[in-house]
Copies of this chain bind each other. A is one copy, B any other.
Amino acid sequence: MNNRIITISREFGSGGRTIGREAAKKLGIPCYDQELIAKISADTGLSADYIREKGEYSAYGSQLANIFADRDTKGLSSQDHLWIAQRKTILDIAEKESCVIIGRCADYILNDAADCLKVFIHASMESRAERIVRVYGEGEDSPEKRLKDKDKRRMAYYRHYTNMEWGAAKNYHISLDSGVLGIEKCVDIITGLY
């Protein structure tokens, strides 16, 4: 396989999705984000909302949620089935074309299966809080509370399915603080490395 893939793992509110989209545009390759969700939805019949939530977030921020989940006769939860479908879709895409893939543990899934540049985008709590209010508006909870909840559940999901630590520099080829460096500079660095 000669396709080259950029995987973007990102903290919620860090602008990782925007960075991935801009990088893909600059490189003239597709970016799989909502398109990935739509494809998994078409393959599985699951709703986009369900995939958006259950394909990256643990239910209660701990693996306990998974232990008590409803399971089929093979012992698999509905979230496990989504993981399997999501994994297959990501492998299919990487087989088909060079692209950017946002989130969904694509870094782990493609590790040995493709020529990947594995990127992690993060930013300080303050910077992300400012961004999510600007982009998504005010919520019922404080932005810090929303971020902490998202972080905790994404971290738990990642650990459960990959057995690796979320946000450890060694899991990525490059990790960037988008709050300090700025979105544009992050895009430049990533496209320069491709």
Kindly identify, within residues 151 to 182 of chain A, every residue whose CB is under 8 Å from any CB belonging to chain B.
167-170, 172-177, 180-181
* Copies, count: 2
| Interface range on chain A (Cβ under 8 Å from partner) | 20 to 34
Please measure, in the bound complex, the distance between the C-alpha atom of A175 and the C-alpha atom of B120, giving whole angstroms. 9
Decide if A21 is an interface residue (CB 8 Å cutoff): no
- Residue positions of A touching B, CB distance < 8 A: 11, 120, 122, 124, 167-170, 172-177, 180-181, 185, 189, 192-193
Partner pick for A172 among B11, B169, B170, CB 8 A cutoff: B169
Contacts of A120 in B (CB 8 A): 169, 175
The verdict on A181 contacting B193 (CB below 8 Å), with A174-B175, A175-B175, A176-B174 known, is yes
* A177–chain B nearest beta-carbon distance, Å: 4
